[in-house]
Amino acid sequence: MNALPRVGLGIDLHRLVPDRPCILAGIAIPSAVGPAGHSDGDAVLHAACDAVLGAAGLDDLGTLFSDRDPANAGRASSEFCLEALRRVRAAGMRVASMDVVVETERPKLLPHRLQMRQSLAHLFGIAIDRVNVKGKTGEGLDAIGQGQALRATVVVLLVERSDSPGD
């Protein structure tokens, strides 16, 4: 195939609402608020799927898993990741690295970063040292800074699959 590496960018923004589980990167994080959404609202996994699919030149998450489809109501976003990864592998590529930024005032991510990295590495089939997660605040500005929303931004690098085990 001899293809050049491909870069993908995914961004997802969710309103934070009370009494909703806070699931980020597939991890349940203790919080009084959680991201609203048709599925589990995991903005990190939604952005990661869009980044991976975009880099491969495939349909986006919303096209594959419509928020109008009742079958996706409350669905675990990890299921979306498995399908995105299956499609990327079928296209002859694999994820080589992933960089994640989560902008939020709450919950604080520092105590959960390692577990989030482990979850992303597992879901996307890469080594943990090829995944990074950073938390940023909104400095009191806009809906994020006022604690009303969170945004996840993910950049991924895809490379051609080799015949080695694990691809």
Structural domain includes residue 83 = yes
Number of domains in the chain: 1
Q: What percent of the chain has pLDDT over 90?
A: 80
Question: Does the residue 165 lie in any domain?
Answer: no
Report the first-to-last Cα separation within the chain, whole angstroms: 15
Can you give the residue range of the structural domain that contains 68?
6-160
Evaluated on CA atoms 119, 120, 121, 123, the torsion sign reads positive
What dihedral do alpha carbons 61, 67, 72, 78 form, nearest 10°? 30
CATH number of domain containing 104: 3.30.1330.50
166 in a domain, yes or no?
no
The predicted model scores a pTM of: 0.92
Report pLDDT digits (tens) over 66-116: 788 888 787 888 999 999 999 999 999 999 999 999 999 999 999 999 999
| Digit-coded pLDDT (tens) for 117-147 | 999 999 999 999 999 999 999 998 999 999 9
Does a structural domain hold residue 167? no
How many CA atoms are closer than 13 Å to the CA of 58, on its beta-carbon side? 24
In a domain, 1, yes or no: no
**Mapping DSSP to helix (H, G, I), strand (E, B) and coil, where does residue 40 land?**
coil
Select the more confidently predicted residue: 8 or 3.
8
